[in-house]
Amino acid sequence: MTKTPEIVDSHCHLDFPDFAEELPDVVARARAAGVTRMVTICTRLRQEPKVRAIAEAHDGVYYAAGTHPMSAADEPLATVDELKALARHPKFVGIGETGLDYHYTAESAEVQRQSLRIHIDAARETGLPLIIHARDADEDMAAILAEGYRNGPYSCVMHCFSSGAGLARAALDLGFYLSMSGIAAFPKSQELRDIFAAAPLDRILVETDAPYLAPPPYRGKRNEPAYVVNTAKVGAEIFGLSYADFATTTSENFDRLFRKAAHAAKAA
Does the residue 260 lie in any domain?
yes
d(CA 93, CA 42): 12
Does the residue 111 lie in any domain?
yes
CATH number for 114: 3.20.20.140
d(CA 80, CA 124): 10
φ, ψ at 177 (rounded to 5°): -115, 155
| The pLDDT of residue 267 is above 80 | no
Per-residue confidence (pLDDT) for residue 255, from 0 to 100: 98
d(CA 212, CA 256): 26
Cβ neighbours of residue 254 closer than 8 Å, sequence gap 6 or more: 8, 10, 37, 205, 261, 262
Mean pLDDT value across residues 73-97:
97
Residue range(s) defining the domain that contains residue 229: 7-267
Does the residue 37 lie in any domain?
yes
Give the pLDDT band (50/70/90) at residue 205. Answer: very high
Does the residue 84 lie in any domain?
yes
Does the residue 2 lie in any domain?
no
Per-residue pLDDT of 225-262, as tens digits, reads 999 999 999 999 999 999 999 999 999 999 999 999 99
Give ∠ CA 248-252-253 in degrees, rounded to 5: 120
Does the residue 21 lie in any domain?
yes
Per-residue pLDDT of 127-159, as tens digits, reads 999 999 999 999 999 999 999 999 999 999 999
Does the residue 171 lie in any domain?
yes
Burial zone of 261 (CB within 10 Å; 0-12 exposed, 13-18 middle, 19+ buried) = buried
Report the chain's terminal Cα–Cα distance, integer Å: 26
Give ∠ CA 164-159-163 in degrees, rounded to 5: 10
d(CA 258, CA 123): 12
Tally the domains of the chain: 1
Does the residue 1 lie in any domain?
no
Give the pLDDT band (50/70/90) at residue 2. Answer: low
